[in-house]
Structure 1
Amino acid sequence: MGKFTYSMGTKVDFDDRVLAHLQVVISNKLRRGESFLFTWRDDASLGDGRTSVWLNPNLAMSFKYFGSRPPVLNRSWVEALAITANSTTGLYVVPEPAGVVSETSADLL
């Protein structure tokens, strides 16, 4: 399980593979200077609700992976996540579609 940590100490666990896909989408938007909403479902131990944070290039965040090897990325999934990030609802995790897999995140940045 990887961990996304945001500015004011907000932390959330994601599977390493999910986190790697989110990192590509978030990095691409922030590199362009775009701010956007990011929403995820909370763990049942936190009340099983949702949390949303406003992401912008001026706030610190980190992506911590617990696996030793970088996850293989799916271009179709990155594109599907990017569509949500560009919508009025903001970025949220969608199911992985079948698609072409890329060996490195560099191919998608």
Structure 2
Amino acid sequence: MGTLFYGGDARFELSDRLLAHLQAVIGMKLRRNESFFLSWVIPPEEGNGRNAIWVDNGVPIRFRYEGSRPPRINREWAETLALSANTNFGLVVTDETIEADAHGGHELQ
């Protein structure tokens, strides 16, 4: 389990695999000076609900990985995440399986 550090004190535990994909997408968006929401579901064992944060170049963000080797990037999943970042809902974390989601996600063709 890795950690996403956001702003001053916010920290969120996410899998190394998810973090690597988020780093790729967030890096691409911020290089283009594009701001967006990032949101994900909080699992029941952590209390349920959803997190949403506004990501822009003015807020420090750091990725800390538990493992020392970077995971292989699933291009289709990264593209699906990147496409969702361009919607009103922002970058909505989805499972790695590539499917259209009920919140306006995109299916790759």
Interval of TM-score (by shorter of Structure 1 and Structure 2): 0.7 to 0.9
Runs of 4+ in 1 over 4 A off after TM superposition: none
TM-score (norm 2): 0.83
> Could you list the runs of 5+ residues in structure 1 that have no partner in the other structure?
99-109
Q: Which residue type is aligned with residue 34 of structure 2? A: E
Number of residue pairs matched by the alignment: 98
- What's the CA shift for 1:45? 5.2
Aligned-residue Cα RMSD (Å) equals 1.4
Q: Which residue type is aligned with residue 68 of structure 2? A: S
**Conserved? CA contact 1:37–1:90, under 8 Å:** yes
Three-state SS of the structure 2 residue aligned to 1:73 is coil
Counterparts of 1:1-109 in structure 2 under 5 Å? 1-44=1-44, 46-97=46-97
**Conserved? CA contact 1:5–1:61, under 8 Å:** yes
> Could you list the runs of 5+ residues in structure 2 that have no partner in the other structure?
99-109
TM-score (norm 1): 0.83
Equivalent in the alignment of 1:105: none
**Conserved? CA contact 2:38–2:93, under 8 Å:** no
Cα-to-partner distance string for 1:55-79 (whole Å, 9 max, x where unaligned): 1011101000000111111111110
